[in-house]
Amino acid sequence: MLFRGWGESVDWRWPDVAVVADHVGVDHVVVTRHALVRQVLADPVTWRPDNALDAVTPVPVAALRVLAGHRFRLPPTLANNSSASHPGIRALVAEALHPDRVAAQQPWLTALVRRRVVRLAAALDAGEPVDLYAVLAADLPLLVLARLIELPDAPVDAVKDFARAALELFWAPLDADRQLALAAEVGRFHTVLREFAATGGGLAAALRADGHSPDVVVGALFFLLVAGQETTSQFLTLLLHRLTAEPEVRAGLRAGTVAVADVVEEGLRLEPPIVTWRRVAAVDATLGGTAVPAGTSVVLWLARAGRDPELVPEPTRFRPGQRGSRRHLAFGAGTHRCVGAQLARMEAAVVVAEAAPLLDGVTVVRPPWCPDNLTFRMPDAFVVRRR
Show the site string, 93-122: x = touches ligand HEM by CB under 6 A, - = not.
x---x-------------------------
Site for ligand HEM in 141-200 (CB under 6 A): 145
Nearer to ligand HEM, 306 or 315 (CB): 306
Other residues' Cβ atoms within 10 Å of the Cβ of residue 42: 12
Give φ, ψ of 185 to 5 degrees: -65, -50
- The residue number whose beta carbon is nearest to ligand HEM equals 340
Number of residues that bind ligand HEM (CB under 6 A): 30
When asked if residue 340 is in the footprint of ligand HEM (CB under 6 A), the reply is: yes
When asked if residue 235 is in the footprint of ligand HEM (CB under 6 A), the reply is: yes
Stretch near ligand HEM under the rule CB under 6 A, chosen from 26-34, 100-108, 225-233, 288-296: 225-233
When asked if residue 212 is in the footprint of ligand HEM (CB under 6 A), the reply is: no
User: How deeply is 286 buried, as exposed, middle or buried, from its count of CB atoms within 10 A (0-12, 13-18, 19+)?
Assistant: exposed
In the complex, what is the shortest distance from the CB of residue 332 to ligand HEM, in angstroms, rounded to a whole number? 2
Stretch near ligand HEM under the rule CB under 6 A, chosen from 7-15, 27-35, 172-180, 221-229: 221-229
Nearer to ligand HEM, 220 or 249 (CB): 220
Stretch near ligand HEM under the rule CB under 6 A, chosen from 64-72, 114-122, 291-299, 328-336: 328-336
3-state secondary structure the chain: CCCCCCCHHHHCCCCCEEEEECCCCCEEEEECCHHHHHHHHCCCCCEECCCCCCCCCCCCHHHHHHHHHCCCCCCCCCCCCCCCCHHHHHHHHHHHCCHHHHHHHHHHHHHHHHHHHHHHHHHHHCCCCEEHHHHHHCCHHHHHHHHHHCCCCCCHHHHHHHHHHHHHHHHCCCCHHHHHHHHHHHHHHHHHHHHHHHHCCHHHHHHHHCCCCHHHHHHHHHHHHHHCCHHHHHHHHHHHHHHHCCHHHHHHHHHCCCCHHHHHHHHHHHCCCECEEEEEECCCEEECCEEECCCCEEEEEHHHHCCCCCCCCCCCCCCCCCCCHHHCCCCCCHHHCCCCHHHHHHHHHHHHHHHHHHHCCEEEEECCCCCCCCCECCCCCCEEEEC
When asked if residue 1 is in the footprint of ligand HEM (CB under 6 A), the reply is: no
Nearer to ligand HEM, 237 or 244 (CB): 237
The whole-angstrom separation of Cα 14 and Cα 22 is 17
In the complex, what is the shortest distance from the CB of residue 126 to ligand HEM, in angstroms, rounded to a whole number? 32
Site for ligand HEM in 245-274 (CB under 6 A): 272-274
In the complex, what is the shortest distance from the CB of residue 152 to ligand HEM, in angstroms, rounded to a whole number? 17
Stretch near ligand HEM under the rule CB under 6 A, chosen from 15-23, 24-32, 160-168, 336-344: 336-344
The one among 187, 219, 228, 315 contacting ligand HEM by CB under 6 A: 228
In the complex, what is the shortest distance from the CB of residue 68 to ligand HEM, in angstroms, rounded to a whole number? 26
The CA distances from residue 107 to 115, 153, 339, 356, in Å, are 12, 20, 21, 18
Site for ligand HEM in 38-97 (CB under 6 A): 41, 49, 78-79, 90, 93, 97
CA angle 357–120–141, rounded 5-degree value: 85
When asked if residue 6 is in the footprint of ligand HEM (CB under 6 A), the reply is: no
In the complex, what is the shortest distance from the CB of residue 175 to ligand HEM, in angstroms, rounded to a whole number? 28
In the complex, what is the shortest distance from the CB of residue 124 to ligand HEM, in angstroms, rounded to a whole number? 26
When asked if residue 373 is in the footprint of ligand HEM (CB under 6 A), the reply is: no
In the complex, what is the shortest distance from the CB of residue 254 to ligand HEM, in angstroms, rounded to a whole number? 24
Question: Which positions touch ligand HEM (CB under 6 A)?
Answer: 41, 49, 78-79, 90, 93, 97, 145, 224, 227-228, 231-232, 235, 272-274, 277, 330-334, 336-340, 343-344
